[in-house]
């Protein structure tokens, strides 16, 4: 038990850790040119934030949150997603009072008590962006363009953009009536949770994961048929902009998303198996829901880092490998140790990736080790090399050796 991590969690090390670093690097580079600033919010928040923001009738709040009372008897929840905390941060720190829009990105862990089948972790990680202050469909377009660029740079080809509009609270009134009528006619076939939630929030039944509910939902009325003029125009404008920008998309009227804060646009990037890699949308009411003095539109997305890694593997995409060790500095004799280590430090300061001996191995064992770790070159530093200020640098692939003065070794690697 002590040596076993909790179910649904993952350790990050080795090649996965390296991939994550590359993914985050590409995301950061893009956010920089889109002028999107990084934000880090706490790993836990007051439970009420998620109950209000994400929604009482969602699966996330009803079934999946890690909630506990802290020692001061406050109800605390480990964040199940990144939007509510970022919106709270935007409000609490008065970011809305600065020139708008406010564009924030984050890398966050998220905790959901889910069934850890493939692709569903209890702690997962997201690259997310939240764009506050713009009601224009161009905000959606900006995020979708960034995502398109992001996937292109990663070499991911299999994700297709699906969009839908679920309207605003005004459209929801007429839609909910129609949906409730339909669901009531099939009440007996719905799961117990849906039988209850259809009265409070029928839209949640649409994305219930229970198979019998999925069957009923297939023929349920669609939100797009109930959009008011403003929401219809917003959706048309979004589609027009995407078309003009040659960003291909498919309208999928089945997408409603699993969190309550969405209004108007919802979108997902879905892989060839129909698995959602990234999800997002507009949430024009969330800010008001958290702070009733404010009324600020917003849009955002979350992209699961683990899903990116899995998708790249499934598509056979290799990310740039970890850089190899440029030079292994072997140490010959105790008396050479300090000077050899000083040389190692000088080379590192010059930007050369250097490894050396910390195990007091024989020179033969050191060379074996250098070979094992894939060092591209080796050099042995002993009393003679130090006295003559010269050493032989060996290319491990060709076996070729060059003799150089110690202060010129770095020049072989960095120009
Ligand atoms: P979400 O669709 O719940 O949306 O999650 C976003 C992404 O996080 C998913 O598309 C998936 O890649 C990843 N993800 C979610 N749950 C898991 C899990 N259990 N295991 C592994 N990966 C997972 C949100 O969280 C919203 N906050 C997105 C958003 C931001 N909407 C507006 N702004």
On whether 243 is known to bind a ligand per the annotation, the reply is: no
Among 251, 281, 314, give the residue marking a domain's end: 314
Quote the number of domains for the chain: 2
To the question of whether residue 126 is assigned a binding role by annotation, the answer is: yes
**Does residue 5 fall inside a structural domain?**
no
Does residue 302 have its Cβ closer than 6 Å to ligand 1?
Answer: yes
CATH number at residue 111: 3.30.930.10
Say if 44 falls within a structural domain.
yes
Q: Is 75 left (phi over 0), alpha (psi -120 to 50) or beta?
A: beta
Q: Residues 384-412: pLDDT tens digits?
A: 999 999 999 999 999 999 999 999 999 99
Q: Which two tokens stand for residue 3?
A: 């040596």
Residues 251 and 291 in one domain: yes
Please write the tens of the pLDDT for every residue from 1-40.
Answer: 799 999 999 999 999 999 999 999 999 999 999 999 999 9
Residues 163 and 108 in one domain: yes
* Strand 102-111, strand 298-304: pairing: unpaired
Q: What is the pLDDT of residues 263-309, one digit of tens each?
A: 999 999 999 999 999 999 999 999 999 999 999 999 999 999 999 99
On whether residue 213 sits in a domain, the answer given is no
Same domain? 243 vs 361: no
Ligand 1 atom nearest to CA at 122: 19
Question: Cα separation of 219 and 189, whole Å?
Answer: 14
Both tokens assigned to 58: 């969602």
- CA count, 13 A, side-chain hemisphere, 104: 23
Q: Please tell me the distance between residue 82's alpha carbon and the centre of ligand 1 in angstroms.
A: 9
Claim to verify: residue 19 and residue 123 sit in the same structural domain: yes
Q: Residue 119 pLDDT more than 80?
A: no
22/59 same-domain check: yes
Inform me whether the pLDDT recorded for 176 exceeds 70: yes
Largest CA distance in the chain: 93
85 within ligand 1 shell (Cβ under 6 A): no
Dist CA 237 CA 59 (whole Å): 32
Residues 290 and 367 in one domain: no
- Tell me if 204 is assigned to some domain: no
**307 and 338 both lie in a single domain:** no
Q: Which of 289, 314, 339 is the last residue of a domain?
A: 314
On whether 261 is known to bind a ligand per the annotation, the reply is yes
What pLDDT, on the 0 to 100 scale, is given for residue 249? Answer: 98
Place of tokens 């140490």: 331
Q: Which among 58, 81, 104 is the best mutation to test ligand 1's pocket, defined by most ligand atoms within 8 Å of the CB?
A: 81
* pLDDT score for 395: 98
Confidence of residue 125 (pLDDT cuts 50, 70, 90): very high
Pick the atom of ligand 1 nearest to 82's CA.
27
pLDDT at 195 exceeding the cut of 90: yes
> Which residue is associated with the tokens 């005004």?
170
Average pLDDT along the chain: 96
Same domain for 342 and 310: no
Q: Using CA positions, which residue lies closest to atom 33 of ligand 1?
A: 300
82 is in an annotated binding site: yes
Does 249 lie in the same domain as 383? no
Instruction: Determine what percent of the chain falls in helix, strand and coil, rounding each to the nearest 5.
Output: 40, 20, 35
Residue 119 lies in a domain: yes
314 Cα: distance to centroid of ligand 1 (angstroms): 20
- Scan for tokens 């089948």, then name that residue: 117
Read off the CATH number of the domain in which 404 is found. Answer: 3.40.50.800
Residue 45 CB–ligand 1 contact under 6 Å: no
Ligand 1 atom 16 nearest Cα:
120
Q: List the residue whose alpha carbon is closest to atom 8 of ligand 1.
A: 304
> DSSP string spanning 142-203?
HHHHHHHHHHHHHT----EEEEEE---HHHHHHHHHHHHHHHHTTGGGS-HHHHHHHHH-TH
Residue 177 lies in a domain: no
335 and 295 in a common domain = no
pLDDT for position 415: 78
Alpha-carbon distance 215 to 217, whole Å? 6
Q: What is the pLDDT of residue 414?
A: 86
Note whether residue 335 is domain-resident: yes
Residue 109 domain flag:
yes
What is the pLDDT at residue 117? 76
Q: Give me the pLDDT at residue 118, please.
A: 66
DSSP structure class, residue 376: S
Q: Answer yes or no: do 369 and 250 share one domain.
A: no
Strand partners, 66: 78
Q: What number is the average pLDDT over the span 74-91?
A: 98
| 61 CA → ligand 1 middle, Å | 14
Domain identity same for 357 and 394: yes
Mean pLDDT of 108-126: 92
Q: pLDDT value at position 413?
A: 95
Instruction: Provide the pLDDT confidence category of residue 116 given band limits of 50, 70 and 90.
Output: confident
Categorize the per-residue pLDDT at 209 as very low, low, confident or very high, splitting at 50, 70 and 90: confident
Residue span of the structural domain in which 389 resides: 327-412
Query: Does the predicted model carry a pTM greater than 0.85?
Result: yes
Contact (CB, 8 A) for 277 and 74:
no
Residue 156 in tokens: 């991911």
Residue 156 has pLDDT above 80, yes or no: yes
Of 314, 347, 365, which residue is a domain's last?
314
Among protein residues, the one with the nearest Cα to ligand 1's atom 1 is: 279
């Amino acid at each position: 038990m002590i040596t076993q991590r909790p179910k649904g969690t993952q350790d990050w090390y080795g090649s996965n850790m390296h991939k994550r670093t590359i993914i985050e690097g590409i995301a950061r580079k893009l956010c920089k040119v889109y002028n999107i600033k990084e934000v880090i919010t706490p790993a836990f928040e007051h439970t009420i934030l998620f109950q209000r923001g994400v929604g009482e009738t969602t699966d996330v709040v009803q079934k999946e949150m890690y909630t506990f009372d802290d020692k001061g008897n406050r109800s605390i929840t480990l964040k199940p997603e990144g939007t509510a905390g970022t919106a709270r941060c935007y409000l609490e720190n008065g970011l809305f009072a600065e020139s708008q829009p406010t564009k924030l990105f984050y890398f966050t862990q998220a905790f959901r008590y889910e069934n850890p089948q493939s692709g569903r972790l209890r702690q997962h990680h997201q690259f997310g962006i939240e764009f506050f202050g713009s009601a224009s469909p161009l905000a959606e377009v900006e995020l979708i363009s960034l995502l398109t660029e992001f996937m292109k740079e990663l070499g991911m080809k299999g994700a297709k953009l699906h969009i839908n509009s679920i309207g605003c609270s005004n459209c929801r009134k007429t839609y909910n009536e129609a949906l409730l009528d339909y669901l009531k006619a099939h009440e007996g076939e719905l799961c117990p949770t849906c039988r209850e939630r259809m009265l409070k929030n029928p839209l949640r039944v649409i994305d219930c994961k229970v198979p019998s509910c999925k069957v009923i939902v297939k023929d349920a009325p669609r939100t797009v048929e109930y959009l008011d003029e403003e929401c219809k125009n917003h959706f048309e404008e979004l589609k027009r902009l995407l078309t003009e920008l040659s960003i291909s998309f498919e309208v999928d009227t089945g997408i409603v998303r699993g969190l309550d804060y969405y209004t108007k646009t919802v979108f997902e990037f879905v892989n060839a198996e129909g698995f959602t890699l990234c999800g997002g949308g507009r949430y024009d009411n969330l800010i008001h829901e958290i702070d009733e003095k404010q009324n600020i539109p917003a849009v955002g997305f979350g992209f699961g880092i683990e899903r990116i890694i899995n998708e790249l593997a499934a598509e056979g995409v290799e990310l740039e490998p970890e850089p190899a060790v440029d030079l292994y500095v072997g140490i010959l004799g105790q008396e050479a140790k300090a000077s050899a280590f000083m040389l190692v430090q000088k080379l590192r300061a010059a930007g050369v990736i250097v490894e050396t001996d910390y195990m007091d191995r024989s020179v033969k064992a050191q060379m074996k080790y250098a070979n094992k770790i894939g060092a591209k070159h080796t050099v042995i530093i002993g009393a003679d090399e130090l006295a003559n200020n010269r050493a032989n640098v060996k290319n491990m692939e060709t076996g070729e050796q060059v003799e150089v003065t110690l202060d010129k070794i770095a020049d072989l690697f960095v120009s």
